[in-house]
Structure 1
């Protein structure tokens, strides 16, 4: 398995971010080929020192790194990537890696 993880930093308008994210971006991203699971954080994100500068963490699970690459290269993946600039006013970091259950 492999995960694509998006760390969304605190947006200028969290309510507007949430509305757009759930109503527009999630349905768009769920069209990416090979997507097996899509999870997001719920509620405030915390660190050992207190509140995090992150607003939301999304984890998209695929069968492999190759499947992530194919999804990102697809028209649906390109559309989802281009959409991020429309709502992630605080910025977003994207990471992907193979995963294992230990």
Structure 2
């Protein structure tokens, strides 16, 4: 299995971010070819030392990194990636990696 973890930094307007993310971005991202599961954080995000400067964490599950790369090369992936500029004004980081159960 592989994961794409998306870290959304604190936006200027959290309520506007949340509305847009749920009504527009999630439906776009759920069209990604090969997407197996889509999870988002609920509530505040913190570190062992206290509050983090993150507003939301999204974890998207795929079968492989190649599937993630293929998904973002697709028209649906281009639409989802292009949409980030419409609401993620606080900044966003994307990480993709394989996983193994231990």
User: Once superposed, what is the RMSD of the aligned Cα atoms?
Assistant: 0.5
C-alpha distance in 2, partners of 1:101/1:39? 19
Partner of 1:80: 80
C-alpha distance in 2, partners of 1:48/1:33? 35
Matched, 1:64 2:64: yes
Partner of 1:3: 3
Partner of 1:22: 22
Task: Give per-residue Cα distances to partners, 1:60-91, cap 9 Å, x unaligned.
Answer: 00000110010010000000000001000101
Q: CA deviation at 1:49?
A: 1.2
Unaligned 5+ runs, structure 2: none
SS at match of 2:68: helix
Partner of 1:93: 93
TM-score (norm 2): 0.98
SS at match of 1:90: coil
Q: CA deviation at 1:6?
A: 0.4
Runs of 4+ in 1 over 6 A off after TM superposition: none
C-alpha distance in 2, partners of 1:24/1:14? 15
